[in-house]
Structure 1
Amino acid sequence: MYGYIGTLIEIYTYMLIAYVLLSWLPSAKESFIGEMLGKLCEPYLSIFRRFIPPIGGMIDISPIVALIALRFIGEGIRAVLSFFVR
């Protein structure tokens, strides 16, 4: 059970990183992969973008906060599961 959750969180982390890297290349973000990653990552990132404005109007640090939060969420889920599943 722990392996599945860890794997899913790791995959989603890599998807978020790939989406952020694709945002630096406008033509890549409009590709099939860029659009697919946008549909999967943008709902999660939009939560953080509501509360964290871009610095200087250009630098968006919300993906960093989102990755940290994802890590905490994963650890929390693992802790809850380890409490109930023994």
Structure 2
Amino acid sequence: MWCIPDNFDIESFYAYMKKNKSTVIRFYFDNGISNAFKARIETIIDEIIATRNHDFKVPFIYFEGLVEEKRQKMSCLFHGI
């Protein structure tokens, strides 16, 4: 999904994501999302990165302003590297 606005229900998605074993998910959030929404997304990204054993299919999540190191870690996890 591309250009996702900040009225997207990120909490419902996150609950689903932690149970997802098969769906490939790539989320690119709209450049105009609020700083508060970016902070929540980044918290989710941090939790995914910190998880040692992913018993779910890791999504790729990106928004403009995400630190490159975190983008690369998400990419590696997404691709199983």
Considering the TM-score relative to the shorter chain, is it more than 0.5? Answer: no
Structure possessing the higher radius of gyration over alpha carbons: 1
TM-score by length of 2: 0.32
**Higher strand proportion (structure 1 or 2):** 2
TM-score by length of 1: 0.31
